Amino acid sequence: GSGGERELCAPICCILGHVDAGKTKLLDCVRGTNVQKGEAGGITQQIGATYLPVENIRERAGLKPEVAIKVPGLLVIDTPGHESFSKMRSRGLSLCDIAVVVVDITRGLEKQTIESLHLLKRHDVRFIVALTKVDRLYGWKSCPNAPIVKALKSQSDDVQSEYKWRLTEVVTQFKENGFNTAPYYENKKMKQVFNIVPTSAIRGEGVPDLLLLLVRWVPEIMIEKLVYDNSVECTILEVNGDKDLGTTIDVVLINGALHQGDQAIVCTKQGPVTTIIRDLLTPHPMKELKAKGVYKHHKELRAVHGVKIVAPGLQHAMAGTSLIVVKPGDDLRQAEAAAMQQ
Ligand code: GTP
Ligand code: MG
Ligand code: NA
């Protein structure tokens, strides 16, 4: 392997797809959470981030101890599929290493699926297709958390034939949009042909397969990109008011480390704001950053993580911009100018 002794970061994976395709539910299935049920109208309206440590992924995917995984985990960015949130989709996409495009097997490619595909092409981001809701195939026999090939083998001939024609239809739709796709278990050219993983968020069929592709195949194709680098790269996802903490920002720490006491700059419409990081908070592993809950406090955090930053003066910080950390010896005026140039 070319990973050598170098420290690798968790890949950042962005979930995209049409409204109600099943993005949040699939993530709920992986996390063992119920975020989707609590959303107003069942619609995601904010971008989210969840850190999945490798131990949890191993357990969730039923991996044997001898199966090596090079990355420490996976950071998953959930995005809204509703057409009015295209800004959040491009924000999620612009900071990810890999995308999962969620397609409802009973509906095929829809408007925002296609919009996402164009964005992915423009940003040259690779993706995996989660062809989800397979449990909706008429007569589907549930096989909780089974690898998909095993689950498919236990289905009746009718279910298998419905699966095949629906799959063929989706592959054709991708082709019409300029993408070659194939079910991953038959894909012999993973470098050129995009993988499709059939899944169900209800009983978890195919979920082990999807996780395995994300933590094994993704590092294989982009190991250089995942090498830890100590220059801070940190993007603001959301600016939030909290009655106890004041204004906080949810960020994705893509590279480098953050510390309590670091001097940092955010850009606002009124100009640069220089502040001192008071606290670094993360939700517990497998929990959504944006969900209210119990946080862990950190003196230092190394990439990759979804982090809630507590600091004075963040009220006018702008989502989608970078937080700049001022290192000892850096010229403050220059750093402020750099912050405003984005
Ligand atoms: P937005 O974030 O609003 O774009 O939607 P989403 O893509 O996150 O979809 P969501 O997770 O909200 O799921 C939409 C609906 O589909 C909900 O009613 C889910 O319960 C249902 N659903 C999602 N996944 C599955 C699945 O695998 N099987 C079945 N039967 N229903 C599913
Ligand atoms: Mg959602
Ligand atoms: Na929804």
Which pLDDT value is given to residue 298? 98
Q: Bridge partners of 319? A: none
Question: Is 0.85 exceeded by the ipTM?
Answer: yes
Q: Check pocket membership of 144 for ligand 1, CB cut-off 6 A.
A: no
User: Per-residue pLDDT for 2 more than 70?
Assistant: no
Q: Check pocket membership of 89 for ligand 1, CB cut-off 6 A.
A: no
pLDDT digits (tens, 9 = 90+) for 75-89: 999 999 999 999 999
Q: From the CB of residue 246, how many other CB atoms can be counted at a distance below 10 Å?
A: 15
- Ligand 1 centroid to 316 CA: how many Å? 34
pLDDT digits (tens, 9 = 90+) for 216-225: 999 999 999 9
Minimum CA distance residue for ligand 1 atom 28: 133
pLDDT digits (tens, 9 = 90+) for 257-306: 999 999 999 999 999 999 999 999 999 999 999 988 899 999 999 999 99
User: Per-residue pLDDT for 335 more than 80?
Assistant: yes
> Relative to the alpha carbon of 107, which ligand is closest?
1
Which pLDDT value is given to residue 4? 58
- Residues 134 and 196 sit within 8 Å (Cβ to Cβ): no
Q: Check pocket membership of 82 for ligand 1, CB cut-off 6 A.
A: yes
Q: Which ligand 1 atom minimizes the distance to the CA of 39?
A: 12
Dist. CA 300–CA 180, nearest whole Å: 43
Which pLDDT value is given to residue 103? 99
Q: Which ligand 1 atom minimizes the distance to the CA of 42?
A: 12
- Classified as helix, coil or strand, 111 is helix
- Ligand 3 centroid to 17 CA: how many Å? 10
- Residues 112 and 19 sit within 8 Å (Cβ to Cβ): yes
- Ligand 1 centroid to 26 CA: how many Å? 8
Mean pLDDT of 98-122: 97
Q: Bridge partners of 14? A: 77, 99
Q: Any idea which residue has 């592709």 for tokens?
A: 213
User: Per-residue pLDDT for 3 more than 60?
Assistant: no
Which pLDDT value is given to residue 240? 93
User: Per-residue pLDDT for 339 more than 50?
Assistant: yes
Residue 231's pLDDT band, with cuts at 50, 70 and 90, is very high
Mean pLDDT of 27-44: 96
Q: Which ligand 1 atom minimizes the distance to the CA of 79?
A: 2
In order, the DSSP letters of 72-85 are SEEEEEE---SGGG
User: Per-residue pLDDT for 215 more than 50?
Assistant: yes
- Classified as helix, coil or strand, 122 is helix
Q: Any idea which residue has 């092409």 for tokens?
A: 121
Q: Check pocket membership of 136 for ligand 1, CB cut-off 6 A.
A: yes
Q: Check pocket membership of 22 for ligand 1, CB cut-off 6 A.
A: yes
Which pLDDT value is given to residue 243? 87
* Nearest CA-CA partner of 129 in 161, 166, 154, 156: 166
Minimum CA distance residue for ligand 1 atom 14: 20
Which pLDDT value is given to residue 293? 85
Dist. CA 224–CA 177, nearest whole Å: 30
Q: Check pocket membership of 25 for ligand 1, CB cut-off 6 A.
A: yes
Minimum CA distance residue for ligand 1 atom 21: 22
Instruction: Break the chain down into helix, strand, coil percent, rounded to 5.
Output: 30, 30, 40
pLDDT digits (tens, 9 = 90+) for 176-214: 999 999 999 999 999 999 999 999 999 999 999 999 999
- Ligand 2 centroid to 223 CA: how many Å? 29
Residue 1's pLDDT band, with cuts at 50, 70 and 90, is very low
pLDDT digits (tens, 9 = 90+) for 111-156: 999 999 999 999 999 999 999 999 999 999 999 999 999 999 999 9
Q: Check pocket membership of 235 for ligand 1, CB cut-off 6 A.
A: no
pLDDT digits (tens, 9 = 90+) for 62-75: 999 999 999 999 99
